[in-house]
Structure 1
Amino acid sequence: MLELRHLRTLLALQETGSVSLAAERVFLTQSALSHQLKQLEAYYQQPLFERKTQPLRFTLAGERLLALAREVLDKVAAAEREVARIRQGEAGELRVAVECHTCFDWLMPAMDSFRQHWPAVELDIVSGFHADPVGLLLTRRADLAIVSEAEPQAGIVHQPLFAYEMVGIVARDHPLAAKKVWQAQDFAAETLIHYPVPDEMLDLWRKVLLPAGVSPLRRTSELTVAIIQLVASRRGVAALPFWAVKPYLERGYVVARQIGEQGLSSELYAALRSEDAGLAYMQDFLATVRERSFATLPGLTVLEG
């Protein structure tokens, strides 16, 4: 009765704390996942978690199966890596280029985990911020690039990593703090503080402000903490990933508000050369990035390829 897919479902439930989010994580509809859980509970003749808690809380029986899931899935992943090493070899080079200033919050933990799995792969970050990381792939100065758009290009494939919400942040005593949802016009009279990148790399500009014809005053800063400090001092407003600003929200430095009626969603993809897409260590690096990010960053959603 107990299959690997059940164990993956239990882990997804534990990491997300929600049936709906877990269903998205394992690529099932919510009803299909609920049916799967009911089958398990019928088989073991007892509930595996308490349905009316938020976040979801496992019963003792559920905790035991959850522990089994961690143990078994870790061993399965290790065995699959060993088989891949036998087939393709253990050594290689993986130089990562990034175009986002907040990538390092989740990239570094993933790199640490990856090094334990593939110690013979030379893993490095191409130093500096790169406005055209895909160009580094084509000139063989990088092997993988983290990008926000999957633009078709000859010789390049894109693998989805995850999607996340961009939120507007403002000082607690700013007039915009009273609005739960911001529209493009709310930025018109403000100073927009953002990273020093081209406009086309700013999702707020590309998806919200430009279509509405809104062009606020600008100010740039390289560091997230500096942007937070400027916003808290009422020098302007900003739009940043929810997971990047959550620690500052918890300390009460600033407040966050939804941008647009549906929220402002941003995406991250891994771009790599077509010839390298099948390398086992490359695919394991992408799997590690997704696994670590979903386990540690709040508010992520699955991004389908």
Structure 2
Amino acid sequence: MLERFHLEVLQAIKNHGTLTQAAESLHLTQSALSHSMKKLETQLGTAIWQKDGRNLRLNAAGERILTLANRVLPQFRHTELLLSQIAKGEMGSLRIGMECHPCYQWLLKVIAPYLEDWPEVDIDVRQAFQFGGLSALLNYEIDILVTPDPLFRPALNFIPVFGYEHRLVVSANHPLAQKDWVTPEDLAKETLFTYPVEPQRLDIFSQFLTPAKCTVRQHKVIETTEIMLQMVAAGRGISALPGWLVDEYAKTLPIKSLGIGESGIQKDIYLGVRKGEESISYLGEFISQAQHTR
């Protein structure tokens, strides 16, 4: 019945649209591919696609098989990669997805000693997972997800590595710099700099401003921490960042951090992994290294 080959064909049809292009992508002749799929349709007792001019369109049965293909094929490829590395005497690769913009400086502190201890392991840090990291982890596109906002799933394990306080950052000359903590109303006339993340996923909005039915005068997006804090130091606006990160920059910039609300906003950084894979030696050692790095 269904075999891996069939799943790859359906995925190729979806990606390329025509039987000819799908066959070329799989290094097969069109007739061989067509014959194999007709045989499958006979076994299943139902068609899995229909012609739409020169293109092929998957029907309900085909889409159901495609859903299986999208879930299973990445696992095949991931396992084959690991087996290939074992056969070559290589330890493996560690693909890290980042959902935490300000965590890159912290990650560098983790990676530096790790690379010395595990020279056989290749590390790849991927930045294109702004709150899309969960699907990347489930689909075997990454091996570890660094996030302050875990979305718990039965197949995943999120391990806390360190806690911190999310703080408001202002210029040392800003009127708010005289306060220990701020209220939502204090920010009504301010320009707020943030990373390019949806406001509903930013703690300054979701845990502070929005519940109080308040907002800022202007919200501007800046991609890099350095530029953001230079703007804050120059009195162009305010920001909200992890306290440990602000403390580092406060050594060289005229900035000050304040509590966000009287109780503050307490957060944790988590490493997300697929359940059971934390026992893989080089992956487990990375988690251990992260838990001891601040």
What TM-score do you get using the length of structure 1 for normalisation? Answer: 0.63
For residues 105-162 of structure 1, the C-alpha deviation after alignment (integer angstroms, 9 at most, x for no partner) is 1111211211222222222212445321121111211011011123221311111111
Amino acid in the other structure paired with 2:227: A
**Compared with structure 1, are the counterparts of its residues 248 and 146 closer, same or farther at alpha carbon in structure 2 (3 Å cutoff)?**
closer
Counterpart mapping for 1:253-272 below 5 A = 253-272=254-273
Any conservation in 2 of the 1:168–1:258 contact (CA below 8 Å)? yes
Determine the structure 2 residue equivalent to 1:149: 149
The alignment's C-alpha RMSD in Å is 1.8
Amino acid in the other structure paired with 1:198: E
SS in 2 for 1:152: coil
SS in 2 for 1:287: helix
CA distance in 1, matches of 2:108, 2:173: 35
User: Is 180-189 or 248-257 further displaced after alignment?
Assistant: 248-257
Determine the structure 2 residue equivalent to 1:43: none
CA distance in 2, matches of 1:131, 1:150: 10
SS in 2 for 1:208: helix
Report the CA distance between 1:242 and its aligned residue: 1.7
Counterpart mapping for 1:137-286 below 5 A = 137-216=137-216, 217-286=218-287
SS in 2 for 1:282: helix
> Aligned residues, how many?
205
Any conservation in 2 of the 1:90–1:118 contact (CA below 8 Å)? no
Any conservation in 2 of the 1:203–1:266 contact (CA below 8 Å)? no
For residues 18-70 of structure 1, the C-alpha deviation after alignment (integer angstroms, 9 at most, x for no partner) is xxxxxxxxxxxxxxxxxxxxxxxxxxxxxxxxxxxxxxxxxxxxxxxxxxxxx
Determine the structure 2 residue equivalent to 1:289: 290
For residues 243-292 of structure 1, the C-alpha deviation after alignment (integer angstroms, 9 at most, x for no partner) is 21223323351222122212221211111111412212222101101212
**Compared with structure 1, are the counterparts of its residues 250 and 109 closer, same or farther at alpha carbon in structure 2 (3 Å cutoff)?**
closer
User: Is 283-292 or 255-264 further displaced after alignment?
Assistant: 255-264
Q: Which has the larger radius of gyration?
A: 2
Determine the structure 2 residue equivalent to 1:19: none
Sequence identity (%): 31
Gaps of 5+ in 1: 1-88, 294-305
**Compared with structure 1, are the counterparts of its residues 206 and 93 closer, same or farther at alpha carbon in structure 2 (3 Å cutoff)?**
same
CA distance in 1, matches of 2:285, 2:249: 32
What TM-score do you get using the length of structure 2 for normalisation? Answer: 0.65
Q: Does 1:92 align with 2:74?
A: no
**Compared with structure 1, are the counterparts of its residues 127 and 234 closer, same or farther at alpha carbon in structure 2 (3 Å cutoff)?**
closer
Amino acid in the other structure paired with 1:269: Y
Gaps of 5+ in 2: 1-88
Determine the structure 2 residue equivalent to 1:134: 134
Report the CA distance between 1:196 and its aligned residue: 1.0
